Structure 1
Amino acid sequence: MTEARPVKRQARGRQRIADILDAALALFAEAGYEATTTNAVAARAGISPGSLYQFFPNKEAIAEALSARLVEQMQAVHSSAFDLAQVTDLTLDELIDRMLDPLIAFNLANPGAKALFGNTDMPARLAGAARPLQEAVVGRVAAIIGARFPRLPATERNLAALVTVRIVAAMMPPIVAAHGVDRDALIAELKKALRGYIAPLDAH
């Protein structure tokens, strides 16, 4: 019995942290990072502010933990999205679908992520929380472009990857905010833009 109690407390603690992070993610999506308070996060999580402070001393600590969780989840998404296997066998439209659809699905499931990663006024260490992930995504896209267009020089390949990722990042907030046919139209336009940008790379 004595061993079961610490295990139960640890499980409750992990669940409480997950509830706090879920609440913060929802509030960041609704109100933005700056307008969200720790009291609001505690209320959304169904706990007292004092209970919240047992796990996180301030809002920045919550955001850092949430950033780490999102980075881990996005790395798993990117690993499945950016599979180099059979890249050369796909049509350009199929390639764009394989790269883009999982990323859109992730952002739709986590609309508060943009409040963290897209906020230029965040503290420096928070703003840099997603930088390793962003660099990894650009690297994966560059690898796909290199496999698809082997004659493309490395400098041009890397630049094309960076621009591709920036185009997607710029379009993600309006896609997340839209609904139904409006969202479908934005996704179609984004894929059209990527197709128009990537297709000429084959000229090399």
Structure 2
Amino acid sequence: MPEAKNGSENGTGKPRRRQARGERRIAQLLEAAASVFCTTGYTAASTNSIAREAGVSPGTLYQFFPNKEAIAVELGDQLLTRWRATYGQAFTSAHLELPLDQLLDAVLDPLIQFNFENPAFGVLMHGPDIPGQVTREHDALHSSMLTRVEEVLAGYLPATPEPEITRVAHMVFAVYKAGMDVVLAAEPAERDAYIAELKTMLFRYIDPLVGDC
């Protein structure tokens, strides 16, 4: 009969204290990587610069990650998990019953806030040399979001043919992404004004279609 594990170990036989210490170190390295990616871009970043930002030696970094790509994959996975949670918060069934202007607030506000709180998301999801696993997962999420936008529009435009719904959804998504680039690049004092402009653009595009229906 195998020996029972004591309170300081789990099923892997590793002391819990050691595991917790390792998890904190991983979180520290990922936070440093996010900062470096935002400052230099993914391509120019290196494991040495990430280790330096984290205040550890490169050898310590290599205990947890074999290379920069592995760090990017782990960070990308965490960011996409947070994005899925935010996306779920934005597209609740209750929001879909709101008037158009209130719907835009309810959907866009959490998405915009996420981008402010996670600046590495845009860098890591749209860079030219991002690991394939990250881009594939991002593309899948992008596709699911586009489908959700189509579903929302279909609810507001019940008499509109499906091809037109798809076309409008693509335009809405393109305006949102382009507008977010401008919002994120704006000076902090100007951000609210640019956010308001983005919502106004979307409202003025969609509202006449809703009115026609």
**Under a length normalisation based on structure 2, what TM-score does the superposition of the two structures give?**
0.87
Give the distance between the partners of 1:86 and 1:76, measured in 2 at CA. 15
Contact 1:27/1:41 (<8 A) preserved: yes
Among candidates 39, 45, 57, match of residue 36 of structure 1: 45
Distance 1:86 1:14, change over 3 A: closer
Q: Is residue 189 from structure 1 mapped to residue 193 from structure 2 by the alignment?
A: no
* Partner SS, residue 158 of structure 2: coil
Q: Is residue 51 from structure 1 mapped to residue 55 from structure 2 by the alignment? A: no
Number of aligned residue pairs: give it: 203
Distance 1:74 1:85 in 2: 20
Q: Could you tell me which residue of structure 2 aligns to residue 171 of structure 1?
A: 179
Q: Which moved more, 1:146-155 or 1:188-197?
A: 146-155
- Residue 137 of structure 2 aligns to a residue in which SS? coil
Q: Deviations over 1:88-118 (max 9, x none)?
A: 3x22211111111101100000111111112
Higher mean displacement: 22-31 or 170-179: 170-179
Cα distance in 2 for partners of 1:30, 1:23 equals 11
Q: Structure 2 stretches of 5 or more lacking a match?
A: 10-14
Query: What is the TM-score when the length of structure 1 is the normalising length?
Result: 0.90
User: Do 2:28 and 2:54's aligned partners in 1 also have CA atoms closer than 8 Å?
Assistant: yes
**Post-superposition, which runs of at least 4 consecutive aligned residues in structure 1 deviate over 3 A?**
123-126
Q: Partner of 1:4: helix, strand, or coil? A: coil
| Paired-residue identity, % | 41
1:141 alignment partner in structure 2: 149
CA RMSD of aligned residues (A): 1.9
Cα displacement string for residues 3-27 of structure 1 (whole angstroms, at most 9, x for unaligned residues): 4161111111111111111111111
**Residue among 5, 8, 12 paired with 1:4:** 8
1:131 aligns with 2:133: no
Contact 1:64 1:129 in 2 (8 A): no
- The 5-angstrom pairing of residues 54-65 of structure 1 reads 54-65=63-74
> Which residue is equivalent to 1:99?
107
Letter of the 2:27 partner, please give it: A
Bigger Rg, structure 1 or 2: 2
5+ residue gaps, structure 1: none
Superposition map of 1:72-91 within 5 A: 72-85=81-94, 87-88=96-97, 90-91=98-99
Cα separation, 2, equivalents of 1:35 and 1:176 = 21
Contact 1:114–1:173 (8 Å) recurs in 2: no
Which structure 2 residues correspond to residues 106-125 of structure 1 after superposition, within 5 A?
106-125=114-133
> In the TM superposition, what is the alpha-carbon distance from 1:152 to its structure 2 partner?
2.2
Give the distance between the partners of 1:59 and 1:163, measured in 2 at CA. 35
Instruction: Give the AA of the match of 1:45.
Output: A
Greater alpha carbon shift after TM alignment, 31-40 vs 148-157: 148-157
The 8 Å contact of residues 38 and 59 in structure 1, kept in 2 or not, is answered as yes
On the 8 A contact 1:29/1:113 being kept in 2, the answer is: no
**1:27 and 2:31 equivalent?**
no
- 1:78–1:103: 8 Å Cα contact kept in structure 2? yes
Distance 1:104 1:127 in 2: 21
Equivalent position amino acid for 2:202 in 1: L
Amino acid at match of 2:180: M
